[in-house]
Structure 1
Amino acid sequence: MRIDDFLVAPAEAGILPKNSDEQYELSFWDSIKNSNYAGDYEAYLKQYPNGKFAALAKSRLDRIRAAGPSAAPSAPAAKPEPKAEAKPAPAPTPPPAARSAPPSAPSPSTPPAASNQPRSRAGGAISQGTVTMANEGKETPPPAATKPGEARGGESRDCPQCPVMVTIRPGSFTMGSSTSDPAERPPHHVVVNKPFAIGKFEVTIEQWNACADANVCPRIATNNADMKNAPVRDISWDDAQQYVGWLSKTTGKPYRLPTEAEWEYAARGGTSSAFWWGDKMSKGNANCKDCGDPWSDAAPANVGSFTANPFGLHDMNGSVWEWVADCWHSSYKGAPVDGRAWEEPACTSRVIRGGSWREGASYMVSSTRFKYSTSVRQSQNGFRVARDAN
């Protein structure tokens, strides 16, 4: 009898509250349990040295190491999706054709109106927040929300190897969800009172390797250098800090990770719906297993392969999970309402946002959030950069 026979899958055991420590461990394990990459099991053991799957992780790690370099690594399985009474139903519209390279100037499109509220990952209806721009002076309920693209400024690039940045103007929105995971509550009004710039795309392998070539960032073996336009992944929060530090020194400008509030404001793109494109899953808008072609469970598509949101930002939903600056808190109770990062002394657990290409539709909603330890590398985690606007 194998050790696997004594383990109960999360789906069979029943889903625990999303923000419980045991659920985080189960989610982590489920995301790597089919991996043939040693680094994923090393990451689990670093995060949970005495975890319930530690013995199995060590056994699989020993097996992979014994097989030597000839054993081809494979991408891990997706994080488990909590059971829900219903999920957003795919729309019948066909996905657009994939592009081989990131587009230079996407044309924002108005998100479609939806007639039905989707169900959240916890089984409840997605909350319908409100979004306004700072210059409007008052909050307006949906559907008369901010016009798509209204808060978007121009694009810039500070060096040839730097990410393309999109300037986002100040504004306000309702952050979180009232009926989804407890970690997304309470929904609260946030005023982003300063303009900021954020990456049009996630940081790519080519951009990351420029930092590695400068002997500042670690070279990550799982990122194939030939896949220049793929999002870099297997990146820890600490790794991302090395990159933004190098980018700041290279350009003379203060690059950083976006705050969690900035990230959600940018991801929503001036909308208040469950997804930036509306309240129902519509294929062709994100890189996930329910989102249409191009899709492969082995690796994410190149950045920019899917439609940009109304702010001109690609892959805010799906592709890879994205690190943000904030320390993890299990709810938004007491969260800042001015767009700044929510910090704590000696914080060791940080927030990731947006889901990945291996998750389904329920993880694509704009309010989705999760956490990892700052030093853990996981093969679905990447990031995009931000800085204060000039």
Structure 2
Amino acid sequence: MGERSARLRGGVELGVAMVIQRLRHTAPRRIAYSILGVALAVGLFVLVAGIGIGLATGDAAVGSNADYRIVPESESSATLPVSVGGPQLGGVHEVGARLGERDDVRYASPVAVTLAELTHGNTTEHVLVFGVVAHPGLRAGGLSSEPLTPGDPHYANGTYGGPKTNEMVVSTGTADLLGTTVGERVLLESPSGAGRETARMTVTNVSVASTPAFDSVPVALVHLSELQTATGDTGRDTADQLVVAAESPAVRDDLETLYDRTEVVARSSASGVGTDGDLALAVGGAGFVVSLVVGSLFVATTTGLEIRRDRRLWATLSALGFSASSRAIVVLVRTGLVALAGGLTGIGLGRIAIAVANAGVDRYVDETTVAVFSPEVALAGLVVSAGVVVITGPYVLWLTSRETAKAGLSA
């Protein structure tokens, strides 16, 4: 047992020493090329897997890094983000404020949707009015809430005694129907419901709805508390859904515990882009196979050339009493170190590639993430490098034995 351990330790030490010697003196380029080959393969896998996770978790949804909607479970996640007259969430201002205090949440806003009557002059039209807690990055009904005063001043910690802004953002379709423009007054009134009030709103912005589904639908955007006051819904503080933009998909687990009988839907799920982990698994699996093949071919080629050049070294080791198993340990240690170095380098390259991809897309679509780097992806990258050793190991062992025999015959 002691002899076997000593032989194993000696083989490992010799393998490490040979890699260091070649890297520092005799063959630095060949070792570097081998490491680079594995690194490129692992880096490719990390990037592809990151994109798969980004798509499947909704991180590639346009408009936020990780955008989620909390909706009553009876609502279909495949429908438009509009619910009028259906189940609602309660105490939404408090829940949204609590979420907004988290470091990993960029903003959280309740969204209420009401079919209201808007009147300008002698024209009255029914319009979908969205009530939100305003944030520059938030869109509802395809309209940006940036023109609204940030937050929801009239709510005033549940007293509904704060100042009313009377601000309203309308779509171009709504402006055309009412014949109104920026700076003009519009009357807002809920067509039904006890305790309703007529609110005199000022149009602060007219814009084209960014969501195709709302191109032909007249919509408007106001502060949530002011919409609740107009509809007589200040007592329950309800909304149809809660939108959360987060820095990490890990937030989703906590969102699922906020309300009973609700569903957390990634924005991409609502738009038909991947509804579960199957997409990530498919994309990541394809990247894993391709990276494994590319890395194995590269290592097999470079290591094979190196073994052929060192055939006399293997014959010398054999003559010195190194058994076939000891020489196999040396070869596997050399290949394993190269693959490990390539795997670690590849993880770094993949992370850089993910950052570059996200930055490139963000130049054209604000606050959009197409790929996600996670510890699980990094661990899978190391599995790729280990797989390279497993696949190429039998080949390099066979080649070492063959070249050793050739060198012995030529000697």
Q: Based on CA coordinates, which of the two structures has the bigger radius of gyration? A: 2
TM-score clears 0.5:
no
Relative to its length, the structure with more strand (as a share) is: 2
Relative to its length, the structure with more helix (as a share) is: 2
TM-score scaled by length of structure 2:
0.22
TM-score scaled by length of structure 1:
0.22
